[in-house]
Structure formats: C-alpha cells, structure tokens
Amino acid sequence: MKILAIGDIFGECGVEHVSMVLRSLKIDEDIDFCIANGENTSGTGMTVSDYDKLYDAGVDAFTMGNHTFGKKDIFKILENETNIVRPANFPDGTPGVGSRVLKCKNKKIGIINIMGRVDISISLDCPFRTIDREIEKIKPLCDFIVVDFHAEATSEKKAMMFYLDSRVSVLYGTHTHVQTADETVTKSGMGYITDLGMTGAEDSVLGVKKEIILKRFINALPQKFEYAYSRAVLCGAVFEIDETTHKCVCVKRICVR
C-alpha cells in the first residue's frame, strides 16, 4: 500500500496546483491514500471552499498545525468532516480531535497529528507524552499508524523519530515549508523524513511574496503578508507499507512542478 503525504499546501497557488496535478500523480505513483497538511490552504487556516477543492482533487485526509484556527470556517469543518485531525497536544477542550482511524482498501490507517514546542508560540501539552496517549487510544483500532509532527526544530523531529521508532509505521515532519533530504526507513521499519516541504509558489519565501519578507528583514518594520502566485511545486513523500507486516519498506521524496 502506498501513502502519499503532501507538505503544507499554501494559498490559492498551492490549492490550484494540487487540483491540477494530484489525480495524475496518484495514478503515476500508484497511490492508495493521500494525506495533506492543510494549515495554510487559505494562507493562515482553511476555508470550507479550499477544503472542498482539495477533497475533490483527491486528498483523502487532512492534518493541521499552528495555523489550525486561522479561519473561522475550521470550526464547521472540524465538526462536520471525519477526515481531518488537528494537533493532539492542543489543550483539553480545543475543538476537533488529534487522531482518527480511516479506512483504505481493507486496511485501517490510524492518523495522528502532533505539534512541537520549540520556537512555536502556542501553549501546548508535551508532544511526547501526548503521543503516547494517542497511540494507546488508536492502536487497538487500526492496522498501522501515520504521524504528522508539525514542528520547527529539526532536533525535536529527530528526537521524535527515535521516540516513535518501532511504534508507528510512518513519521513525517511539516511546518518549515522546506523539504529535507533525510528520508529513511529505520531498522524496525518506520518511514521517516524531517520535513515534507511546501506545496505552493516557488518564487516566494515560504509561500509569502518575497518583496514583503525582504522588507521585513531589511527594515525590521511590520508588513502585511500577501501570498505569492508563481510557478508551483508539490512537495511531499510516498511511503510504501508492506500489507502483511504493516512496516514501511520504502520512502520516496516527491517534488512535482
């Protein structure tokens, strides 16, 4: 079974690109299930319209991150849709759930979304202790587990790799919008990459117009963010799961222009 994970889809440019390329990418790579990080689909957050477009384009499940609640539509989406998770370590009482089990072919895939605490300005519960609880909760209900660790620090993500090794089948990072070249399968059969990268405008700084970010760095004055629109790239990775052992056997990085 092949699972395609797509890195943070950014703005109109990213959503349109996914709508254009995902169907053929799923056929070319023989993809069974597609999970995308949707925290930036509408810049900060996700609207119902962007959710619908991406679902129609072939995204089967969504994970989120620090921008989960950037658009108020998300409350409706979290309430109505059964294929979306937000970081599990948001404080108790936050709308939505941090893990779900979704069916694909004859398999039940457990999906967990968790967020790092290094250089992320939201008060969160410990990601390590929280993921222990989430794994305990969904392990009896699924065949294997896929984790999106939405975090800034490469150190925190690598630490999570060792923490989860042999307990989940796939662990990938999101949030930095820059793809790392460290994809690997651990000895115990967990597929891993530190960050999937971004899906959106290449001629940008992490999805935002480059002129705006340059001004911010050069003059240190606040600037209103505007989202870039240029030639786009879809960044992510394909994880191949052995259907008998439920271990990951191969990770392939993807950049589709």
Interactions with Fe ion, residue window 173-202 (CB under 5 A): 175
Instruction: Please identify which residue in 8, 12, 32, 240 interacts with Fe ion, judged by CB under 5 A.
Output: 8
For residues 157 and 175, which CB has a smaller minimum distance to Fe ion in the complex? 175
Query: Tokens 């990938």 — which residue?
Result: 172
The count of other CB atoms within 10 Å of the CB of residue 188 is 12
Instruction: Please identify which residue in 47, 66, 89, 194 interacts with Fe ion, judged by CB under 5 A.
Output: 66
Instruction: Please identify which residue in 7, 65, 116, 189 interacts with Fe ion, judged by CB under 5 A.
Output: 65
In the numeric block, which tokens belong to residue 203?
């001629």
Residue 244 Cβ, how far from Fe ion at the closest point, in Å?
35
For residues 54 and 185, which CB has a smaller minimum distance to Fe ion in the complex? 54
- Are 151 and 121 a contacting pair, CB within 8 Å? no
Q: Which of 17, 67, 175, 177 is catalytic?
A: 67
For residues 45 and 191, which CB has a smaller minimum distance to Fe ion in the complex? 45
Residue 127-166 contact track with Fe ion, rule CB under 5 A, x = bound: ----------------------------------------
Residue 32-51 contact track with Fe ion, rule CB under 5 A, x = bound: --------x-----------
Give 203's contacts (C-beta < 8 A, 6+ positions apart).
Answer: 210, 228, 230, 231
Residue 173 Cβ, how far from Fe ion at the closest point, in Å?
11
Residue 159 Cβ, how far from Fe ion at the closest point, in Å?
18
Q: Does 246 participate in catalysis according to the annotation?
A: no
* Catalytic residue IDs: 67
Which chain residues interact with Fe ion by CB under 5 A? 8, 40, 65-66, 175
